[in-house]
Amino acid sequence: MSEQPDIPQAEAAQPVRSIQEVARLTGLSVWTLRYYEKIGLIDPVDRDPSSGHRVYGPGDLARIESLAHLRAAGLSIDAMRTLMHSRGHAPETVDVKIRLLTEHSSEISREIEQLTARRRYIDNRVAYWHAVQAGDDSAVRRLTEEGGALSRDLT
């Protein structure tokens, strides 16, 4: 997952940008920008009348930057779509945003717990093999028991 660059104020205010510039500024690929437009995450982008190329305005860039941040935070396409369709600050749209982001936060917490359990197990296995290497039979027995208990926490 790439880190999303912050767009300097002067660059964000530029009236028209190419797809390559938007990709560079947001960290999203050109392919992703086209895909997001195709599936409706991004409103249809204006086209240059002479070339037919996409031209992005400041509003487009702000929305795309929001999508880049949501993607970096691990939200699904469906979740991003729900958030993008819940525009504004009306109570019902704010409720949708709070619910969706709270659910995602809980999901991240579960993932962190799973990763922590995996790390504990791996750390135990490293310690076990160090004990084997050192010929420390009491540590090998203790770490074997601990490893069995830790393995039950793996999901």
**Mean pLDDT of all residues in the chain?**
90
The CA distance from 100 to 36, in Å, is 20
Average pLDDT over residues 66-73: 95
Looking at residue 1, what is its pLDDT? Answer: 47
Would you list the domain boundaries of the chain? 9-85, 88-155
Name residue 139's amino acid.
Answer: A
74 backbone φψ class: left, alpha, beta (φ>0; ψ -120 to 50): left
Identify the pLDDT of residue 11: 53
CB 23 within 8 A of CB 30: yes
Query: Does domain 9-85 sit in CATH 1.10.1660.10?
Result: yes
The Cβ-side half-sphere exposure at 43, using a 13 Å CA radius, reads: 12
What is the C-alpha to C-alpha distance for residues 130 and 100, in angstroms, rounded to an integer?
45
Any bridge partners for residue 101, and if so which?
none
Contact 61, 92 (CB under 8 A): no
Instruction: Write the pLDDT tens digit of every residue in 26-47.
Output: 999 999 999 999 999 999 999 9
Question: Directed axis angle between helix 137-151 and helix 91-134, to 10°?
Answer: 160
